[in-house]
Structure 1
Amino acid sequence: MKLVRYFQTSLEYFKQNLFSLIGLTKFKDEMYNNRTKFGRTQESERIVWVDMEMTGLDPETCHILEVACIITDHNLNTIAEGPNLIIHQPDNILAKMNEWCWKHHSQSGLIQASRDSKISVEEAEEQLMCFVSKYTPQGKCPLGGSSVYMDKLFLLKYMPTFANFLHYRIIDVSTIKELARRWYAIEGPKKVLRHRALDDIKESINELKYYRRYLFR
């Protein structure tokens, strides 16, 4: 079994390093540059990273506490760090949080910050729109993040203008994480998990950089 595992590992290493082994790294770069000939621009290749902290996971009954946004290029280099917005929620909304949310959002200071905030969800969406429209073309750039389908559900519910400005596709780092664990026995980098929006976005970007380095060479 060890010998079989050795050959499997060697094969995977060869597959991962194929471009480098046969000298096609330059070819990959040229292929990317040539995409502009087919209507793809550098701006349309950008990724709009979003993370939210919510009062729960059901967009029909739960609400957004915090939202942050970062825009990167296709190589995951930061183009711009956007607003990190804490949204006001009244006590009757906060009181409906489950035990997990109450514990973690209390520890992070987010509950009190939401109480003190003067920003409405509509104002937060307006600020996000001003930011993302400055750096990305409408309908071209995907939403990125970890388990970001959940963030998209809340965006569609509470910030539909912003949600519909983005491309319909998403880049979900959690999907790559699960495939890397199953197919390559690779565990991603350890996360701090502060459960604050901007911190979590940065961790997601760094995690995707890790997979790009070890899986997408």
Structure 2
Amino acid sequence: MSEPLLKPELNAEPARSKPLDAGEQRPNETYLVWLDMEMSGLRPEVDRILEVATVVTDSQLNCLAESEAIAIHQPDAVLDAMDAWNKGTHGRSGLIDRVKQSQQSERDAELYMLDFLSSWVPAGKSPLCGNSIGQDRRFMARYMPELERYFHYRNLDVSTLKELCKRWRPELAKGFEKRSAHTALADIRESIDELRYYREHFLRLQ
């Protein structure tokens, strides 16, 4: 088993965290863990993970900490097998170059994420949060099973609210426009912003 030898210069953005308020304790079972992966395709049976990142928020969606966005090395055969959409999208974002330069394996990235999350959220407490997160979970179960088991079996999928909003309040659905950068950290931040939007305009808790 190799130890993760992270090279932040290969990542799009560095990890960052917010100082805890006085009296706040961690790990905290009410915190939420957001995850996004960029993959070489949609089929975990043949495609692979190219990038992974996580963000921890409190229960009110305030960002507490961001992991590194880890580009995972994959052989040329995996990259060459991508379809035109993936080659174009990940080429424009710079992810393909980062994957080629990376020395991190899927196991390295998994160990890093487990270490990062363990200081914020106890195992088995946070649902897996994100957009269309079931797809990420399929890839995690195959290539990062220990990380997949760290989450509660439930998912908090922002896509559920998106689909309900489109059907029940279509005029509100147009109020949030996604940029869809297709990089892991940017997509997580956008998912959190989207849930904040639905909380304010669609759910209207207050």
Do Structure 1 and Structure 2 share a fold, with TM-score over 0.5? yes
Match of 2:152 in 1: 167
Residue in structure 1 matching 2:73, options 88, 96, 108: 88
* Residues 1:189 and 2:176 are matched in the alignment: yes
Amino acid at match of 1:104: T
Aligned-residue offset at 1:112 = 1.1
- SS of 1:66 mapped into structure 2: strand
- SS of 2:70 mapped into structure 1: strand
Match of 1:44 in 2: 29
Q: Which runs of no fewer than 5 residues in structure 1 stay unpaired?
A: 1-40
Match of 2:48 in 1: 63
- SS of 1:83 mapped into structure 2: coil
Aligned-residue offset at 1:83 = 2.0
* Residues 1:111 and 2:96 are matched in the alignment: yes
Quote the RMSD (CA, aligned, Å).
Answer: 1.3
Amino acid at match of 1:208: L
**Does structure 1 retain, via aligned residues, the 8 Å contact 2:27–2:119?**
no
* Residues 1:149 and 2:134 are matched in the alignment: yes
Counterpart Cα distance in 2 of 1:145 and 1:137: 19
Q: Which runs of no fewer than 5 residues in structure 2 stay unpaired?
A: 1-25
Residue in structure 2 matching 1:210, options 174, 197, 200: 197
Q: Deviations over 1:150-198 (max 9, x none)?
A: 0011111111101101100001011110101101222151111111010
Identity across matched positions, percent: 45
Higher normalized helix content (fraction of residues): 1
Question: How many residues are paired up?
Answer: 177
Match of 1:20 in 2: none
Amino acid at match of 2:53: A
CA distance 1:177–1:86, shift in 2 (3 Å): same
- Give matches, 1:119-158, under 5 Å: 119-158=104-143
Counterpart Cα distance in 1 of 2:106 and 2:27: 31
Amino acid at match of 1:111: I
**Normalising by the residue count of structure 1, what TM-score does the alignment of the two structures yield?**
0.79
**Does structure 2 retain, via aligned residues, the 8 Å contact 1:42–1:73?**
no
Match of 2:87 in 1: 102
**Does structure 1 retain, via aligned residues, the 8 Å contact 2:27–2:118?**
no
**Does structure 2 retain, via aligned residues, the 8 Å contact 1:173–1:208?**
yes
Q: Deviations over 1:130-163 (max 9, x none)?
A: 0111100111111100101100111111111011
In the TM superposition, structure 1's runs of 4+ consecutive aligned residues that sit over 3 Å from their partners are none
- Structure showing greater Rg: 1
Amino acid at match of 1:199: A
